[in-house]
Amino acid sequence: VTSLALRVHGATHTGNVREGNEDAHVLDRELGLYAVLDGMGGAMGGDVASAKARDVIHAYVKSKRQAMAPRDLMAAAIGAASAAVFEEAKSRRDRKGMGTTVVACLLVDERRAVIAHVGDSRAYLLREGRLQQLTRDHTIVAELLEKGAISPEDAAHSAYKSVLSRNLGNKPEARPDVVEIALQAGDRLLLCSDGLYGYASGEAVLHLLGGGEGPEQVTRDLIEAALRGGGGDNVTTIVLEVGRAAVPRATQVIRSTGAVSWWARRPLFLQAARDAGLAQSAICAVLSPEEAIEIVAGNLCEAVFHDLEQTTGINVWTYAENLAHGWFDQGGDYEVLRELVDILRGASMAVIADIRAGGDSLAIMLEIAVTRALIVAEVAIGNVLAERLRAIEAELVRATPAIAPPPPPAGTAALASSSTGLAASASGSMPQMSAEGAQQTFVEQRTIPYMQAVRIDPPSPAVARCLEEARARAIAAIGADDRAGRREVADCIERAHRAALAPTGPSDAVLAARELYGVRALEESGMAPLLDALDQARMAHVRAVRELDAGIEEKVTAMRRVSTAHQRMVGAVTALVIESGGPITARLQEATERTAGLRAEVGRNEARLAELERRAAAARAARPQIGAEP
Amino acid sequence: MKRRFSIRMMPAGFGPLPRCSIGRMGQRHAQLFESLRRDLLDRLVEVRGSLDHAYARMPEAAVRPQLEAVVDKMQGYLATQDLQSYRSSAASHMAMRVGEGFAPENVIHAVIAIGDVAVQTAQTRLAGHPECAELVLAITRLNFIAARTLVGLVADDVRRRSQQRDLLLSSSQTPGQTAGPVPGGVRS
């Protein structure tokens, strides 16, 4: 077995809740054997079971390594461990019921590994950024799930999801699952107990395992992630990294050389900030110029240094958050803060430029890392601004009751008077929505006009039936039509139908419009197909309502609801188009002006060309006369 | 402790690299980015729940076009360096997401996270490629631009809302005056 270019590290932790650690692990680089065992039985000797199994497996593999094929060897070793634990449990009454899980990896050579397991300890493979679970939990719930007896949702919430269907110790023989995998350079294997994946999210595991840190750091980080997630169980992890070249990782370079190079250029950073006029920023108004440089620029330089050194972003985040909070609390403008950040960014780039003179590789790595730090700063400022936005919106809502209510729109005046309306609402007696016709009023509490809460009551059963029938008829009608875009029309009808039924009012229509519009910039696709579909949907839907065989009152109400839903959808889509088109309006204007200028120039040139042609024709006409002269 | 952002995702290792020149290399970066496109989209779909919790509830067929639109804009910027166009699309994206009820900071986080996944994919798929580092740098710079643009949009919104608040408060102090139209756009 070769351990060339293999880095491995393992660690275990009791967790935040348990008093003792019943996990055990094997780390034998010489033998190429790595294993995690999770004992169970508590007072019955879970720790004894895992330790016993660990020792037996280790001794078995060591003694039979050359004599047996790797897969058979691992299966036999686990079988021997199970028999030993079973015998131990049988020999002492206080240890009856003890057992253990195991997941073990035997490196056959540089390119192959054998993974064997029993129970719910797991093995993962990280390859090219993708995390794959190599083992299948031997639990009752997992087996029921595999047979299709329960759904994944039921499995996730089952009280029995930790009950093992197989373990080492409850029977003399074990039935391990054994797989052989081919290894590639850069692969990472993770062996872990359920104390890791039960408390750290899969995303966190993927992030940490694929994050470029060495196995030692990753092992520590994984355990920390499990502890932060609650740490309700013992947690053990082993991380193996296979076949990586000995080139220092960028992260390592940044943490060492990069951070030191950055800090060594602190005077340059401060000077660049000074030259760019940082001390003149309004944010530094209460500081002397030197204080401004030392405090504002110096602190950022130090925060970046610590973040580079520790491969984190927390220092820059805190710096930017404090700066933004302090400035905005004084009523400061974002533009001033942005200019200050730009000055600091410029100073950072001056440092990078200086480092680049000594070698491009480090400079590029450092620029990436420093730009990342500045992104963190931007996002921290964004968070502070978003908080302020929410606070201001809350102030707006609070400020409004002091203002006289706005006059109701002309179309709703009758409704307001007939169903008590705003005045009743303001006096505390909520209007009751008894009649189907009184579909709009002011509910909850008064607020600012553009946030006015509007509610449409659910339709009566008779109207709901009308709406449902109209929807079906409309879709059937467009279904007979073979034109392209039929699906979009049907989609519009469905959404309008839901909006017509919705008790929440126009918000459904607005949401429907946003879903129809999707996330796209205006310039990337024309709006005509969507607007055509909306138009066809409206016509088909209204026609279907008109043709309904129902009472006149129900038909009128259904028609009003359908029309309102369509109008709101079209209105919302139009608003989206305008919203999306805003940023490019200036460009269109500019293009139009340029086009007009070019057209004028073409006109002038054509006139000039015509004049030249006219003169040429005159010259040609004059030439024979000259030749005819004696 | 706030540790949403980390610069742990760094390349496996860089060899000697030529001097970075984004302007000259724009087309090359876009071509390299194109070679990553499928993997990047697969990866984005795979980790969509961590980009934005709304994506987690959406089926792959629905979420893929949305992510594809964002990736298209990134690629477009890498190819053309047209900052104005990229800002327009970022503004559209912000408007859409906020209109759907998302907090602005979540929109910023999601866009930055998409950039991070692009960086990670480039580092993984192009490990050892001579232009890997430059592409990663270009994407990181683009991510900074995205963050700056989106934060600027939130700042604009704060300014508008502040004006509205001031107007409302001043209106409330004037007897008999009603709350008329307020400046600024209407946000759903």
Sequence-distant (≥ 6) Cβ neighbours of residue B49 within 8 angstroms: A203, B55, B56
- The residue among B141, B160, B149 whose CA lies nearest residue B22 is B141
Q: Which chain A residues have a beta carbon less than 8 Å from that of B157?
A: 389
- pLDDT attached to residue B67: 87
| Alpha-carbon distance values, A165 to A96, A138, A143, A175, B60 (Å) | 17, 5, 8, 11, 34
Cβ atoms within 10 Å, residue A261: 21
Kindly give, in sequence order, each residue whose CB lies less than 8 Å from that of residue B98, ignoring residues fewer than 6 positions away. B104, B107, B187, B188
Q: Residue B155 and residue A563: Cα distance in Å, rounded?
A: 38
Packed helices A46-64 and A70-91: angle between N→C axes, nearest 10 degrees: 140
CA distances from A508 to A123, A497, A499, A500, B94 (A): 46, 10, 5, 9, 20
- The 8-class DSSP code of residue A297 comes to I
Token pair, residue A254, equals: 């940044």
Do B73 and A317 make contact, defined as CB atoms within 8 angstroms? no
Instruction: Decide if A284 contacts A278 (C-beta within 8 A).
Output: yes
Predicted confidence (pLDDT) per residue in A497-523, tens digit: 888 887 555 556 666 666 666 644 444
Q: Is the CB of residue A518 less than 8 Å away from at least one CB of chain B?
A: yes
Averaged pLDDT for residues A37-59:
86
A247 backbone dihedrals φ, ψ, rounded to 5°: -70, 135
CA-CA distance, A217 to B88, in Å (whole number)? 42
Distance CA A74, CA A108 (A): 11
Task: Enumerate residues 523 to 562 of chain A having a beta carbon within 8 A of any beta carbon in chain B.
Answer: 523-524
Selection from A528, A522, A529, A536 nearest residue A566 by Cα: A536
Residue A123 is predicted with a pLDDT of: 94
- Residue A349 touches chain B, beta carbons under 8 Å: no
The C-alpha atoms of residue A327 and residue A279 are separated, in whole angstroms, by: 15
Which residue of chain B is at minimal alpha-carbon distance from A389?
A: B158
Q: What single letter denotes the amino acid at residue A238?
A: I
Distances (CA, A) of A408 to A422, A425, A433, A442, B179: 8, 13, 18, 10, 12
- Chain B residues in contact with A365 by the CB 8 A cut-off are 10-11, 14, 133
pLDDT at A119 over 80: yes
Residue A334 has its nearest CB partner, among B1, B5, B155, at B155
CA distance to A37, A253, A361, B27, B135, per residue, from A364 (Å): 44, 12, 5, 19, 11
What is the DSSP-derived secondary structure letter of residue A457?
P
Opening angle at CA B101, ends B96 and B104, nearest 5: 75
What is the DSSP secondary structure assignment for residue A460, as one 8-state letter?
Answer: P
* Number of other CB atoms surrounding residue A296 within 10 Å: 23
Q: Which long-range contacts (CB under 8 A, 24 or more apart) does A484-490 make?
A: A485/A529, A485/A532, A485/A533, A485/A536, A488/A529, A488/A530, A488/A533, A489/A533, A489/A536, A489/A537, A489/A540, A490/A537
Residue A348, CB half-sphere, CA atoms under 13 Å: how many? 26
Question: In this structure, which amino acid lies at residue A159?
Answer: A
Amino acid at A568: R
Residue B81 backbone dihedrals phi, psi, to 5 degrees: 60, 25
Q: What is the pLDDT of residues A195-210, one digit of tens each?
A: 998 888 776 787 778 7
In the DSSP assignment, the letter for residue A101 is E
Segment of A14-18, A228-232, A571-575 carrying the highest mean pLDDT: A14-18
According to DSSP, residue A139 is labeled: B
Cβ <8 Å between B13 and A250: yes
Contact B5 A580 (CB under 8 A): no
CA dihedral (A298, A303, A306, A311) in degrees, to 10, reads -150
> Is the per-residue pLDDT at A158 higher than 50?
yes
Q: Nearest Cα to A47, choosing from A91, A9, A14, A83?
A: A14
Q: In angstroms, rounded to a whole number, what is the distance separating the alpha carbons of residues A142 and A133?
A: 14
The reply to whether residue B20 touches residue A364, judged by beta carbons under 8 angstroms, is: yes
CA distance A3 to A317: 41
Name every chain A residue with its beta carbon within 8 A of the beta carbon of B84: 587
Q: Give the tokens for residue A568.
A: 């709101």
**A519/B141 touch (CB, cutoff 8 Å), yes or no:** no
Contacts with B, A 498-517, CB within 8 Å: 507, 510-511, 514, 517
Kindly determine whether residue B7 and residue A584, on different chains, have CB atoms separated by under 8 Å.
no
CB contact under 8 A, A580 and B143: no
What is the separation of C-alpha A216 from the centre of its chain, rounded to a whole number of angstroms? 28
**Dihedral angle at the C-alpha atoms of A557, A560, A561, A567, nearest 10 degrees?**
180
pLDDT at position B143? 92
Chain A residues 24-83 with a CB less than 8 Å from chain B: none
Exposed/middle/buried for residue A518 (C-beta within 10 Å: 0-12, 13-18, 19+): middle
Which residue does chain A place closest to B167, by CA atoms? A396
Q: How confident is the model at residue A451 (pLDDT cuts 50, 70, 90)?
A: very low
A-chain residue closest to B125, CA distance: A128
Give strand pairing partners of A236: A12
Q: Which residue has the tokens 């400079």?
A: A363
Bigger pLDDT: A38 or A436?
A38
Residue that the structure tokens 């013992």 belong to: A234
Residue of B158, B162, B178 to mutate for A, most A C-beta atoms under 10 A: B158
Tell me what the pLDDT averaged over chain A comes to. 79
Cross-chain Cβ contact B178/A396 below 8 Å: no
pLDDT at residue number A42: 59
Q: Flag the least confident range among A207-221, A247-261, A491-505, A593-607.
A: A247-261
Q: Which residue has the higher pLDDT, A431 or B78?
A: B78
Residues 6+ apart with CB under 8 A from A281: A292, A296, A336, A339, A340, A343
Q: Which of A314, A334, A450 sits opposite B186 (nearest CB)?
A: A450
Helix, coil or strand: residue A126: strand
Q: Which of A364, A402, A522 is nearest residue B137 as measured by Cβ atoms?
A: A364
The position carrying tokens 């580079």 is A308
Beta strands in A41-176 (DSSP E): 99-109, 112-118, 122-127, 130-133
Span A530-559, mean pLDDT? Answer: 83
Contacts of B25 in chain A (CB under 8 A): none
Inter-chain residue contact A254 with B87, CB threshold 8 Å: no
CB pairs under 8 A between A and B: 255
What pLDDT is recorded for position A226? 87
Looking up tokens 């989106």 gives B150
Min Cα–Cα distance to chain A from B74, Å: 13
User: What is the identity of the amino acid at A394?
Assistant: A
Q: Which residue has the tokens 């403008």?
A: A333
- Is residue B150 within 8 A of residue B94, CB to CB? The reply is yes
* Interchain proximity B5–A372, CB inside 8 Å: yes
The H or E element containing residue A35 is strand A33-40
Q: Does A186 touch chain B (CB under 8 A)?
A: yes
**Average pLDDT of the residues in A449-477:** 73
For tokens 């450092």, name the residue. Answer: A366
Distance CA A131, CA A448 (A): 50
User: Under an 8 A CB cutoff, do A378 and B125 touch?
Assistant: no
List A residues 129-148 in contact with B (Cβ-Cβ < 8 A). 129-130
State the pLDDT at residue A510: 65
The C-alpha of A584 sits at a distance from chain B's nearest C-alpha, in angstroms, of 7
- Amino acid letter for position A481: D
Task: Find the CB nearest A406 among B12, B162, B178.
Answer: B178
CB contact under 8 A, A365 and B10: yes
Q: What is the pLDDT along chain B (188 residues), one digit of tens a residue?
A: 333 333 333 233 333 333 333 344 567 788 888 888 998 998 888 888 777 767 777 788 888 888 888 888 888 888 888 888 888 888 888 887 777 777 888 889 888 989 988 998 898 888 778 888 888 999 999 999 999 999 999 999 899 889 888 888 777 665 544 444 333 333 32
Q: What pLDDT is recorded for position A439?
A: 38
Range in A186-195, A210-219, A574-583, B43-52 with the lowest mean pLDDT: A574-583
Tell whether A409 lies on the interface with B, counting CB pairs under 8 A.
no
What lies within 8 Å, CB to CB, of A131 at 6+ separation is A124, A125, A202, A205, A206, A209, A210
pLDDT of residue A452: 34
Name the residue with higher pLDDT: A515 or A496: A496
Residue of A341, A336, A348, A342 whose CA lies nearest to A270: A348
Instruction: Read off the pLDDT of each residue in A400-407 and give the average, rounded to a whole number.
Output: 51
Q: How far, rounded to the nearest angstrom, does the alpha carbon of residue A47 sit from its chain's CA centroid?
A: 40
A413 Cβ contact partners less than 8 Å away, ≥ 6 residues apart: none
Residue A470, CA distances (Å) to A507, A516, A554, B22 in order: 22, 21, 12, 58
Backbone angles phi, psi at A104, to 5 degrees: -130, 145
Q: How far apart are CA B123 and CA A251, in angstroms?
A: 12
Q: Which helix (H) or strand (E) holds A178?
A: strand A177-182
Whether pLDDT at A629 is above 50: no
Quote the pTM value. 0.47
Collapse the DSSP code of A277 into the 3-class scheme (helix H, G, I; strand E, B; otherwise coil) and give the result.
coil
> Cβ contact (<8 Å) for A396 and B168?
yes
b/e code A376-394 from CB counts within 10 Å (16+ = b): bbbbbbbbbbbbbbeebbe
